[in-house]
Amino acid sequence: MRQYNFTPDRIINLDETGISTVLSTPKVIAGRKQKQVGQIVSAERGELVTFCGIITATGSSLPPVYVFPRVHYKDHFLNGAPDGSLGLANRSGWMTSELFIRVLKHIQRLTSSNKDNPILIICDNHESHISLEAVIYCRDNGIVYLSLPPHTSHKLQPLDVSVFGPFKSKLKIALNDWHIQNVGKTLTIYNIAELSKLAYLESLTPKNIIGGFSKPGIWPINKLVFGDDDFAPIDIFSTGYHDLTDENTHKTQDLHFVDSETRQNNEVVDREQNKTPTLDTDPISVPDADDSLHVSSSQAMLTPDVVRPYPKKAIIDSVLKRKGREKGRSRIYTDTPEKNRLESLRNEKNRKRELQKAKPHAKELKTAKNLLGLTEPKKKKRVTSLPAEIDSDSSLDEVVMTSDSEDIEMLSESEEE
């Protein structure tokens, strides 16, 4: 932010969500004793259309992108869609690396971004978003591409925070109204664009969009938006078995201390109850200061965390040293180090792919040589010493010595010369 001085209209967030032709129905009013309410839907399982939302920190939204589950795209797929929407097609209906580049071109055309007037795109670490081709296009067209940390999109991504929730709720109502007005008809993917426009206009409002950017502290920038309670789930992990053992031992000692204090308090109470009152004593007794100290200390230490500690998950050293996929983190993919890292990963992936392709060819070549008799004779095993036991039927001629074979080969070579 300090390097580029982005204004709110140049901060963009994009994310995908799925729209199925069969969605769960919204809540309805029914009788008190009625447990289930049935409704006819188009099919048991629906087809998926990917909806890509694009919003800015000023509260405005760019025309969305639709990815239809078809091999070839047709213009009638977007009948009734929001003005300026981009339609794409893929066999599975999911976003791919090739289609994501077309989404970036769609954003660049609407924002007129360049190296002198860049924009910031905040997105997740999905595989389709971090291809090398997409990074190169962003670098050439003034797009700074920032990814969110893994497993944090539900807290940090503006679309997930306050936009997609109302959008899905409005979409369920729109699909339910369509079924009521079109009895006996089947809802297909060609109706999705028109029905999603109603939900799009009612949910992608300035209020929802601005709230999505302000709640995670993206704009206005607020570093103190998350407190200790938001990071509490990480407390169940520990660095190793030793830390876990020490903590459990500490908890056990605290519990034993509480038990001993409680036992002492019970003994004091028993002694007080067993005392017989006399005339000389004052009926109004003043509690001892030590007793009140014991009671207050035991009551203060006897907490649910002491009685039943929070669960802990120990991570042993072998797991920490295990080599596997690199830990994810927030990255600026348009920076040169990240671009070079993606290039090295691409080269390594291509090398492994070539090795996989060469294995069947080598196997076929070996089989052909065996059929044509072109295989090289196997080398005889070297015998460094005679076996310990030789059967009576066997002869010493069957035992081939390494030294004799080498001498014979040397003699044959000298004769040839």
Give the other-Cβ count within 10 Å of 291's Cβ: 14
Which among 59, 24, 41 has a CA at the least distance from the CA of 169?
24
User: Looking at residue 44, what is its pLDDT?
Assistant: 79
User: Looking at residue 416, what is its pLDDT?
Assistant: 46
Q: Supply the DSSP string of 13-35, one letter for each residue.
A: EEEEEEEESS-PPPP----TT--
Q: Supply the DSSP string of 76-134, one letter for each residue.
A: GGGTTPPTT-EEEE-SSSS--HHHHHHHHHHHHHHHT--SSS-EEEEE---GGGS-HHH
User: Looking at residue 376, what is its pLDDT?
Assistant: 62
Which among 114, 119, 168, 167 has a CA at the least distance from the CA of 8?
119
**Is residue 214 located within the same domain as residue 238?**
no
User: Looking at residue 255, what is its pLDDT?
Assistant: 47
Mean pLDDT per 10-residue section of the chain, whose length is 417 residues: 88 96 84 82 87 97 97 95 96 95 97 95 93 95 94 94 96 92 91 96 96 95 90 67 48 48 54 51 47 49 74 62 72 93 92 88 81 68 53 45 45 46
Mark residue 66 as left, alpha or beta (left: phi above 0; alpha: psi -120 to 50; beta: remaining).
beta
DSSP 209: H
CATH number at residue 191: 3.30.420.10
**Is residue 60 located within the same domain as residue 83?**
yes
The alpha carbon of 311 is separated from its chain's Cα centroid by a whole number of angstroms, namely 23
Has residue 328 been placed in a domain? yes
User: Looking at residue 139, what is its pLDDT?
Assistant: 95
User: Looking at residue 224, what is its pLDDT?
Assistant: 92
Separation between Cα atoms, residue 57 and residue 37, nearest integer Å: 41
**Is residue 363 located within the same domain as residue 256?**
no
**Is residue 362 located within the same domain as residue 294?**
no
Token couple for 392: 């009576």
**Is residue 125 located within the same domain as residue 238?**
no
Give the other-Cβ count within 10 Å of 90's Cβ: 17
Separation between Cα atoms, residue 90 and residue 78, nearest integer Å: 15
User: Looking at residue 284, what is its pLDDT?
Assistant: 46
Query: Which residue, chain included where needed, has tokens 């006996």?
Result: 184
Cα dihedral 36→37→38→44 (10° resolution): -70
Query: Which residue, chain included where needed, has tokens 């036991």?
Result: 389
Length of the chain: 417
The pair phi, psi for residue 215, each rounded to 5°, is -65, -40
Has residue 255 been placed in a domain? yes
**Is residue 112 located within the same domain as residue 177?**
yes
What range defines the domain where residue 191 resides?
Answer: 8-29+37-225
Separation between Cα atoms, residue 250 and residue 217, nearest integer Å: 38
User: Looking at residue 377, what is its pLDDT?
Assistant: 61
User: Looking at residue 369, what is its pLDDT?
Assistant: 78
Has residue 303 been placed in a domain? yes
**Is residue 138 located within the same domain as residue 65?**
yes
Question: For residues 138 and 118, is the Cβ–Cβ distance under 8 A?
Answer: no
Give the other-Cβ count within 10 Å of 243's Cβ: 13
Has residue 414 been placed in a domain? no
- Distance in angstroms between the alpha carbons of the first and the last residue of the chain: 81
**Is residue 147 located within the same domain as residue 237?**
no
Query: Which residue, chain included where needed, has tokens 């671009």?
Result: 339
User: Looking at residue 245, what is its pLDDT?
Assistant: 47
**Is residue 204 located within the same domain as residue 246?**
no
User: Looking at residue 171, what is its pLDDT?
Assistant: 95
CA dihedral (313, 314, 315, 318) positive or negative = negative
